[in-house]
Amino acid sequence: VTPFGAIITSIIVPDREGKPGDVVLGYDRLEDYLRENPYFGCVAGRYANRVAKGKFNIEGKEYILTINDGPNHLHGGTDGFDKKIWQTRTISEEEFVGIELSCRSPDGEEGYPGNLEVTVRYTWNDRNELRVEYQATCDKITICNLTQHSYFNLRDAGRTPILDHLLMIDAETITPVNETLIPTGEYMQVASSPFDFRKPTAIGLNIGSDHPQIEFGKGYDHNFVLKGKAGELRPAAVLTDPASGRSLTVSTTEPGLQFYSGNFLDGRLKGKGGTVYGLRHGLCLETQHFPD
């Protein structure tokens, strides 16, 4: 982990043969994160995902945010939490070790109201469980939506596409989007659509579909409405790589999960060890409040 952006730079876990390997995309050097980073491994905020036209209302007052994604506000704006230097301290107990990171977002930053104090804890235990806990307080009524934006590739940390990975998401609906990826306000059933991941399904199976939602997202870039009660920790998704035998289970207290299939990776970025990150060489499973 680096204090810049609260970025998780690597997660090393064994494959079925017991051989350890990295499973997330990123860089070897801080300079590369500073130069160009499509949110590799960071904490995104103040409000992760998109806010339509960078506008929202609280108690009759309209707030105007930075526009940084077409006509919309994305992941906290031009200088979001992914670009902050977080204060850190190590934490250690009998069951786990970890790091606590904290930062402050002053009133008016990127257009948001209030002084926001944020703490994120990453802990790791002997069962190979990474726990991410967020806490935020503010001196004004505001909106806040934090997520962890690691790009996963369980096979080889981004050397090859993730299309053969099997994904299960415990959701019967998604929040469909318009052409700028803002939710329309409706729910769409996943049954009989490319978004049906209720059983483990190869990501590449339907990613080339002519479904309008796939075309809007240039692949998968959608919020899944998770089953179960928000606020209670429950399993939300399982990602498996048949080649390596590695499997990732995502549990969350959040109501939604954004599945992003690395549609804007285009081979321009060279990551760890000189790895070229091509189209869909990594995927994100971002637990979250719904976009907008």
- Catalytic residue set: 149, 286
Indicate the SS3 state at residue 61: strand
User: Is beta strand 20-22 parallel, antiparallel or unpaired with respect to 50-51?
Assistant: unpaired
CA 115 to chain centroid, in Å, comes to 24
- Sign of the dihedral through C-alpha 118, 124, 127, 129: positive
Q: Where are the alpha helices (DSSP H) in the chain?
A: 30-35, 212-217
The pair of structure tokens assigned to 10 is 């690597």
Alpha carbon distances (Å) from 155 to 12, 160, 277: 11, 8, 14
Which pair of structure tokens corresponds to residue 30?
A: 């801080």
Q: How far apart are CA 12 and CA 104, in angstroms?
A: 30
Q: Which two tokens stand for residue 254?
A: 């959040």
Radius of gyration of the chain, Cα coordinates, nearest whole angstrom: 18
